[in-house]
A = this chain, B = another copy of it.
Amino acid sequence: MSRLLSRRDINFLIYEWLDALELTKRERYAQHDRETFDAVLDTAAKIATDFFAPHNRMSDANEPYVVVENGSVSIIAEVKAAIDRFNQAGLVAAAQDESLGGMQLPTVIDKAMMAYFMAANCATAAYPFLTIGNANLIITHGSQAQVNMFVKPMMAGRFFGTMCLSEPQAGSSLSDVKTRAVLDKCVEKDGGKRAYEDGYGERYRLFGNKMWISGGEHSMAENIVHLVLARLPEAPAGVKGISLFIVPKFLVDVDGCIGERNDVVLAGLNHKMGYRGTTNCLLNFGEGKHRPQGEAGAIGYLVGAPNQGLSAMFHMMNEARIGVGLGATMLGYTGYLHSLDYAKNRPQGRAPLNKDPLSAQLPIVEHADVKRMLLTQKSYVEGALALNLYCAKLVDDEKTAADVAAKKTATLLLDILTPIAKSWPSQWCLEANALAIQVYGGYGYTRDYPVEQFYRDNRLNAIHEGTHGIQALDLLGRKVVMHEGAALKQLALTIAATVQAATLSRELETEKFANQLADTVTRLLHVTKTLWAIKDVSRTLASATTYLEAFGHTVLAWIWLSQLLTVEKAGEPATDTEHNFYRGKRQAARYFYLHELPKVNAMLDLCDAGDTTALDTKTEWL
């Protein structure tokens, strides 16, 4: 049994629940079938197990450091070896067009594939994850020349990518980005134009500091392609004056040959609680270190139109947010499987009614409270994985659904589900990791067992790519009201369809759950109106986090009801193993409806009352 991911669960989600094979009827995926999908998942499982998981603890214990002699970043060799395997298998380009050397896989298969690596070693997986996001952005918003010069080497595994948004004074508030970009007046040199000048469009020179840059410096790739937010001269203040630039670590000529070192340097590594294997950097742009006197400035190339950088970057951010959610999910998932394995094998204690101290101890999985902790984890991590893959399928629909209406539906659902897909696993799959530690007891608190690392690693996910609070503002402040509430309406309709189907179930309990969900959605819609009826946006948004969490649990309840319907459709399975699998799904769904969904009521009460206890608290009272 893999302790990374249950393949049976993946198969259930992809083939039975999301019917991914239906995608092969679409032109873009026509060359695929179950066999090619399975082959990719097999490859992923094997590489993740053999090359990513084995050094997960090692790279945590031996985090990257700056070599004093030459300022380079030292990373244990296993990281590059693993990424090389990933790249050699073509996985970095799994979802890309064949014209880019890709496999043209559906996103839902691509994400299921990535899930293995995130479970095995989130820190090492972060390098290809960022590279893929970077490439997708340039493909969407960059020029053909930029795709040729930067994306193709990334897809060949030669270059890695980063995203450079934050600055020391501008984290959640991107409005305050200060990095400057000025048009380079010095393209003529040595009596002629430099070869790389026209290929990418005009050159700029960038000056500023970027903070929290994952994968920002290392020597594992020939080049690092930074995507950098900066301001042009005379740009409007705030978010409307931010442009996006490609700033490579090394300049590249039109033949793809690596040229001189660009003026972007490592100013320091951050030392984190977890995710230690991913370098996380403060980068200085344009301090002149690698340039001749008077020629400071990191050479950069504008992506898309001036001052439109933030919306382009959000293309990558939205993808990254769902990816962060998937990463959080997989840390929870592997923690669940590890603690389940441990619980089956650790003998301790006896049944409450067994008073014979000479009888054999039970495996702890037999204790009610350990079962509770395992079932809770299962309901969190399998629910979260289902949600993440559902979102991946929406990306496929957005791109390839049969008609415009279906595409639009997918976009609306994706818009409204993104903050949930990011925040819910970050909160609840971290809680799953806490429970995994608890199942192990004292052993789980030691670094001899992997669960404490999962817990440390996972704590990052509610912070990066938009904090929990930022997701809440995005949901309540933007997503549920945009297009006159169209996204919320679409979600409500989609949930209603599931509820409708569930009320027709032969099983009384399923019908009961359906009614419970319908009531919660009704309350949620009402509360949304109530909150927006408040004529002071500060007071409305004071409920944002409570609203987000209530919304998240409601969405997950829907995801579980939907899975339950698929289980019912499967009928009575032929083998014990299959029977147990479906029974487990039913039990996790049941757990979610009995133990989790009822938590929403207290949250909705608070929202309904428009509670502002925190907002009304003066700083001096704290």
The answer to whether A590 and B614 touch across the interface, beta carbons within 8 angstroms, is: no
Tell me the chain A residues, 172-202 only, with Cβ under 8 Å from chain B.
172-173, 175-176
The answer to whether A620 and B580 touch across the interface, beta carbons within 8 angstroms, is: yes
Tell me the chain A residues, 446-465 only, with Cβ under 8 Å from chain B.
446-448, 452, 455-456, 459-460, 462-464
Query: Which single member of B365, B542, B594 contacts A606 (CB below 8 Å)?
Result: B594
Tell me the chain A residues, 406-465 only, with Cβ under 8 Å from chain B.
434, 437-438, 441-442, 444-448, 452, 455-456, 459-460, 462-464
Complex Cα–Cα for A463 and B350 (A):
19
Nearest chain B CB to A591 CB, angstrom units: 5
Nearest chain B CB to A90 CB, angstrom units: 33
The stretch among A309-317, A352-360, A487-495, A511-519 that forms the contact with chain B is A352-360
Query: Which single member of B212, B544, B584 contacts A369 (CB below 8 Å)?
Result: B544
The answer to whether B622 and A584 touch across the interface, beta carbons within 8 angstroms, is: yes
The answer to whether A459 and B472 touch across the interface, beta carbons within 8 angstroms, is: no
Query: Which single member of B172, B212, B452, B591 contacts A349 (CB below 8 Å)?
Result: B172
The answer to whether B611 and A594 touch across the interface, beta carbons within 8 angstroms, is: yes
Residues of B within 8 A of A598 (CB): 602, 605-606
The answer to whether B621 and A595 touch across the interface, beta carbons within 8 angstroms, is: no
- Contact A615-B238, Cβ < 8 Å, known A463-B442, A621-B583: no
The answer to whether B462 and A273 touch across the interface, beta carbons within 8 angstroms, is: no
Residues of B within 8 A of A459 (CB): 434, 437, 445, 452, 455
Residues of B within 8 A of A169 (CB): 347-348, 361
The proximity string for A residues 557-591 relative to B, scoring 1 for CB distances below 8 Å and 0 otherwise, is 00000000000000000001000100110010011
The answer to whether B587 and A613 touch across the interface, beta carbons within 8 angstroms, is: yes
The answer to whether B538 and A348 touch across the interface, beta carbons within 8 angstroms, is: no
- Contact A615-B445, Cβ < 8 Å, known A375-B622, A584-B621: no
The answer to whether B613 and A594 touch across the interface, beta carbons within 8 angstroms, is: yes
Residues of B within 8 A of A353 (CB): 537-538
Nearest chain B CB to A13 CB, angstrom units: 17
The answer to whether B584 and A348 touch across the interface, beta carbons within 8 angstroms, is: no
The answer to whether B348 and A173 touch across the interface, beta carbons within 8 angstroms, is: yes
The proximity string for A residues 211-238 relative to B, scoring 1 for CB distances below 8 Å and 0 otherwise, is 1100000000000000000000000011
The answer to whether A176 and B361 touch across the interface, beta carbons within 8 angstroms, is: yes
Query: Which single member of B272, B273, B366, B601 contacts A602 (CB below 8 Å)?
Result: B601
Q: Which of A369, A374, A441, A468 has the most CB of B within 10 A?
A: A369
Query: Which single member of B273, B367, B601, B613 contacts A456 (CB below 8 Å)?
Result: B273
The answer to whether A172 and B441 touch across the interface, beta carbons within 8 angstroms, is: yes
Nearest chain B CB to A430 CB, angstrom units: 8
Residue of B nearest to A434 (CB): B459
The answer to whether B468 and A445 touch across the interface, beta carbons within 8 angstroms, is: no
Complex Cα–Cα for A351 and B614 (A):
15
Give chain A's interface residue range (CB within 8 Å of chain B): 35 or more
Q: Is A617 an interface residue (CB 8 A)?
A: yes
Q: Is A80 an interface residue (CB 8 A)?
A: no
- Contact A438-B463, Cβ < 8 Å, known A271-B446, A613-B595: yes
Q: Is A46 an interface residue (CB 8 A)?
A: no
The proximity string for A residues 499-533 relative to B, scoring 1 for CB distances below 8 Å and 0 otherwise, is 00000000000000000000000000000000000
The answer to whether A357 and B175 touch across the interface, beta carbons within 8 angstroms, is: yes
Q: Which are the 4 A-B pairs with shortest beta-carbon distances?
A: A238-B357, A372-B614, A584-B621, A369-B469
- Contact sample, A vs B, 29 pairs, CB 8 Å cutoff: A166-B442, A171-B348, A172-B348, A172-B441, A173-B361, A175-B349, A176-B348, A237-B357, A237-B358, A270-B442, A273-B446, A273-B447, A352-B537, A368-B612, A371-B617, A372-B614, A376-B614, A438-B467, A441-B467, A442-B463, A444-B463, A583-B621, A584-B617, A590-B613, A591-B613, A594-B611, A594-B613, A595-B613, A598-B602
Instruction: Enumerate chain A interface residues (CB-CB to B < 8 A).
Output: 166, 169-173, 175-176, 211-212, 237-239, 270-274, 340, 344, 347-353, 355, 357-358, 361, 365-372, 374-376, 378, 434, 437-438, 441-442, 444-448, 452, 455-456, 459-460, 462-464, 467-469, 472-473, 477, 537-538, 541-542, 544-545, 576, 580, 583-584, 587, 590-591, 594-595, 598-599, 601-602, 605-606, 611-622
